[in-house]
């Protein structure tokens, strides 16, 4: 998967199409990403010690990774990502502008 945590992504399919958000969590086995504040669903919560009132909560649900696209921090456009060799390391690069997306580790 060419997405990482804290990447800004654009949703290209589904009910939140056209919205952007930050990737919070990635599930590689199921090929899903959790985007902060998007793909919200209502969850009914019984009263408990954690939620003494109970009630209806808004919960972010994972989105299929193929339904999101990385937004390049340089050109500020949604773009595909390619692998680019820079010296000894392989880094992610924007297909549109060719700039490296990753910061040096």
Domain count, the chain: 2
Contacts of 25 (CB under 8 A, 6+ apart): 5, 33, 34, 62
Residues 49 and 84 in one domain: no
Residues 33 and 52 in one domain: yes
pLDDT at residue number 104: 46
**Is it the case that residue 99 has pLDDT exceeding 90?**
no
Instruction: Answer for the pair 63, 69: CB distance below 8 angstroms, yes or no.
Output: no
pLDDT at residue number 105: 44
Residues 21 and 34 in one domain: yes
Whether this model's pTM surpasses 0.85: no
Residues 67 and 54 in one domain: yes
pLDDT tens, position by position, 45-96: 999 998 899 899 998 899 999 999 999 988 888 988 888 887 788 888 888 8
- pLDDT band of residue 103 (cuts 50, 70, 90) is low
Residues 63 and 49 in one domain: yes
Domain around 92: 73-105
Residues 85 and 50 in one domain: no
Residues 86 and 48 in one domain: no
pLDDT tens, position by position, 12-53: 998 889 999 999 999 999 999 999 988 899 999 999 998 899
Instruction: Answer for the pair 1, 26: CB distance below 8 angstroms, yes or no.
Output: yes
Q: Are strands 40-45 and 8-11 parallel, antiparallel or unpaired?
A: unpaired
């Amino acid at each position: 998967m060419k997405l990482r945590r804290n990447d800004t992504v654009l949703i290209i399919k589904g009910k939140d199409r056209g919205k952007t958000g930050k990737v919070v969590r990635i599930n590689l086995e199921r090929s899903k990403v959790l985007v902060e504040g998007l793909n919200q669903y209502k969850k009914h919560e019984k009263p408990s010690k954690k939620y003494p009132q109970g009630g209806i909560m808004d919960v972010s649900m994972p989105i299929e990774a193929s339904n999101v696209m990385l937004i390049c921090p340089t050109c500020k456009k949604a773009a595909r990502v390619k692998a680019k060799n820079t010296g000894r390391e392989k880094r992610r690069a924007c297909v549109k502008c060719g700039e490296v997306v990753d910061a040096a580790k």
